[in-house]
């Protein structure tokens, strides 16, 4: 029973920390760039995809949201000239999203700021402590949650 309670307490601490960091970064993104963390996530996924972009379904999968939610989040990014949407040559029903040059430039600025914010959040931890946290997180059994363990992701 004690192990179960310890696991629950640990999960709550992880959740509290994760939510606090997410709220902080969302507030910073909104105040400095006028974009939410959700839109940053879209830009990030498209940046990693490169110039070929991502099919709408793949983008939804990477963001772990529904196709409708992806459409909602990408529409303002398209309107603002940060993301372009084109139709797949082989299947006109399929949309492909990619960053525009303007989107690439903005994402680079946002990513640099994001990296600095996260570094500040973790500044109180030593390199060995950060490595320990990473190692411990990699040991979590996420396969039953639909998530990937570090071994699965490699």
Contact 90, 96 (CB under 8 A): no
Q: Give the pLDDT confidence of 65-85 residue by residue, as tens digits.
A: 888 888 888 999 999 999 999
* Residue whose token pair is 């390199």: 127
**Angle at the Cα of 151 (from 150 to 154), degrees rounded to 5?**
85
Residue 2 confidence (pLDDT): 84
Candidate CATH numbers 3.40.630.10, 3.30.1330.10, 1.10.10.10, 3.40.50.460; the one for domain 2-123: 1.10.10.10
DSSP secondary structure code for residue 34 in this structure: S
Contact 43, 110 (CB under 8 A): yes
DSSP secondary structure code for residue 66 in this structure: -
**Residues in Cβ contact with 143 at an 8 Å cutoff, skipping those fewer than 6 apart:** 149, 152
Element (DSSP H or E) covering residue 154 = none
- At residue 153 the predicted structure's pLDDT band, cuts being 50, 70 and 90, is very low
Tell me how far apart the terminal alpha carbons of the chain are, to the nearest angstrom: 34
Residue 151 confidence (pLDDT): 43
How long, in residues, is the chain?
Answer: 154
The SS3 of residue 122 is coil
Q: Determine phi and psi for 99, rounding to 5 degrees.
A: -80, 145
Q: Give the pLDDT confidence of 15-27 residue by residue, as tens digits.
A: 999 999 999 999 9
Q: Which two tokens stand for residue 47?
A: 């940046």
- At residue 108 the predicted structure's pLDDT band, cuts being 50, 70 and 90, is very high
| Interatomic CA distance for residues 131 and 31, integer angstroms | 32
pTM: 0.84
């Amino acid at each position: 029973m004690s192990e179960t309670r310890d696991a629950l307490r640990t999960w709550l601490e992880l959740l509290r920390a994760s939510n606090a960091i997410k709220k902080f970064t969302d507030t910073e993104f909104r105040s400095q760039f006028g974009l939410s963390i959700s839109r940053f996530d879209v830009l990030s996924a498209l940046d990693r995809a490169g110039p070929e972009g991502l099919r709408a379904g793949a983008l939804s999968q990477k963001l772990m949201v529904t196709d409708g939610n992806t459409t909602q989040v990408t529409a303002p990014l398209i309107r603002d000239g940060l993301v372009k949407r084109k139709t797949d040559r082989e299947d006109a029903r399929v949309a492909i999203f990619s960053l525009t040059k303007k989107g690439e430039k903005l994402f680079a600025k946002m990513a640099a700021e994001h990296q600095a914010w996260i570094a500040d959040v973790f500044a109180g931890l030593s390199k060995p402590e950060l490595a320990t946290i990473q190692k411990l997180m990699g040991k979590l059994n996420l396969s039953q949650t639909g998530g990937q363990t570090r071994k699965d992701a490699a």
